[in-house]
Structure 1
Amino acid sequence: MFDIDQIRADFPLLSQQVNGKPLVYFDNGATSQKPKVVLDAIQKYYTEINANIHRGVHTLSQKATDAYENARNIVQKHINAKHNYEVIFTAGTTHGINAVANGFTKYLQKDDEILISALEHHSNIVPWQMLCERTGALLKVIPINENGELILSDFEKQISNKTKIVAVNHISNALGTINPIKYIIDKAHQFGAAVLIDGAQAVPHLKPDVQELDCDFYVFSGHKMCAPTGVGILYGKEEWLQKLPPYQGGGEMIATVTFNKTTYADLPHKFEAGTPNIEAGIALGTAIEYLNTIGFDAIASYEKDLLEYATTKLLEIEGLKIIGTAQQKASVLSFIIDAIHPYDIGTIIDKMGIAVRTGHHCTQPIMDFFNIPGTVRASFAFYNTKEEIDMLVVALKKAKMMLS
């Protein structure tokens, strides 16, 4: 049973007021709120364990190591990775993408090609541009249509034997478009290209199966899915992780060190230099377990209902235009109202207790495509309600009246 009242009670922050109004938190695409079980896991680590992991012989270090490695096993099971050492802890999605892009430096030559999409977050654009600058490779971009969907016929023309890696997001953070990544992965593999999927916006809404997808890499952040900031996951197929050089050097990722030569540790530690964000890694495991107790099918169904309701209600506001109308969407609505700047709208409705994101959402090429400075983005989570959407509509109408 999906009990929205019980779910909301799990999130202490949702009960507060902002500017004297009940908080309506619609900025979940930027970061999600944290349930009490996750906050408790953080506190437990610091009050009962707080020790560095791996190699420690004392009891607390062993407890910390066990808890951290158990979290790795939880992630492995959740995404259905074949081996737990294919799960690399990172600082977040950006860290994971950069680790892969850096590793591909030794595998690219001049005029090789990297294929990304016009829907990408800057984090899945800039690292590949930097890789092209290092290697002389060429960056190609899959275009989008007016609905914010990838034009697959163009993708089919662009992919070739020159393509060495394809990097696309699972779900667009700016528009909510759900991309046909299984088709893209299969087509890329026909040409021998590796595929990285940016799953940052997908993991709060669905449960990726990396073996079924057959992606070579899948990256995501914990803070989008009820875990703390500063922790994320890079999944990589064993064959690729064995081939790629480590992104960072230091302690933990070594087997032996002399002044003449260093040899690297086995997976996953080869990619985990230095002391990690231990408490956040443990809490990520807790967050995943929490989400699975609710069930991703239930989450998807509930959020679909919220999206449909919000779409209908917002389109009743005269002058409001939704940017991104793909047939397959996650619970994200980006919109503009007449010629009013999104920042002004966001500022006014914040005074009414409503949190949304405004601007280009680190997707400036998307905004350039639509010839707009940015959007207001309302991103919904499974702990939001239709009543909150009604409050958003009322606030938007007031903001429009004040700014027109």
Structure 2
Amino acid sequence: MTGWLPPLYHTTMYGKYDVMREKSQADGDDEFLRRVRGFLRENLPNDLRDAVRYHRAIAPSDHIKWQKILAAQGWATPQWPVEYGGPGWSPARIYRFHYECAYAGAPDQIPFGVKMVAPVLIKYGSEHQKRHYLPRIRDADDWWCQGYSEPGAGSDLASLQLKAKISEDGFVLNGQKTWTTYAQHADMMFCLVRTDMSEAKQHGISFLLVDMKSPGITVRPIVTMDGAHEINEVFFDEVRVPAENLVGRLNEGWTYAKYLLEHERFPLTGTGKMAREIELIQELTSPMMREMQPQKAQAYRSRLAELKVRLALLEVSLERAMAGAVSGDGVGAKASMFKIRSSELAQDINSIAVDLLGIDSLRIGGAYAASPASGMAGYYLNMRKMTIFGGSNEIQRNILAKSFLGL
């Protein structure tokens, strides 16, 4: 760290020491931060900002609109190398940009294109794949989804069984994927398939790019307990994929999958969201805190203070790791640590919000639709997935035990 701290800590944690912020900008990035914040003030629509801040539904068109606004500014692909359209920012600037966008209430960039498949294409894809897909990802012309999990292959992803039979002109797919986020909107899927059944399970896997409009693909919704339709089952019945849509080499998809998972598990936007959430909690609960018995109010303040400290420590660790992630070295098994820490912290922040709001956190829709707390119940239920998706936290701890402890 070079003295920069997110707005939350200057205004609520350190209070009167806010004046020290500009003096601590030893790296000269104060002008960069002013540019980013000015851009967000001028270009992030207020209705979209409020929808994100108060956990209201965001339409696919809103995500696409925001991606195109970023693309017009040249900021849609912060992590990409300059030769592929990246802005050439330092690791610290990349982290700060993502933090500021999330903290301001900008909608997430749909990660499957910009942050997941694009790094794989840049590192392992053919020149044709790079020329064709990367500009379309940057400009939100294609919406991507991820074809990884299957009914019998979730955290144990290497057990996947979607078969891709090699044909004269490519591959023929038969099988199923599940928990496929936003498949109902997707134009393209990056997909792990089994191309050799005789190999050990980590081998014989290939990485394909699949047109979701291909004949033989069926998408069925899975409605989650918060009432949302984000995830799906996807069925493949004699689906043909051209040979040119194979990424890298045949049967080496597990290598590419692990590389992609490092990007998926690295929570670039998570800290900004959590800082924003803590501010929202303080905004919504400050009146009731004043009415509480002093001992009970102090217990909640202590819990909030602990969450702020945990978030500050996570931010320090993330910025330290960014240099390796962006330079191409990756973060390896450390991504598992970040996934564990960020997901558990996000759930703990959300839990204290529900505890403090009490019955108000359960009031959904109807007369309560305009209430700032009306989205909290759905958000709480949706957040239960954080410690499961991307490889459950139990699996992440096993990865850390093997990688760092030799167990």
In which range does the TM-score fall when normalised by the shorter chain? under 0.3
Structure number with the higher helix fraction is 2
User: Higher strand fraction: Structure 1 or Structure 2?
Assistant: 1
TM-score normalised by length of structure 1: 0.27
Higher relative contact order (CA 8 A, sep 6+): 1
TM-score when scaled to structure 2? 0.27
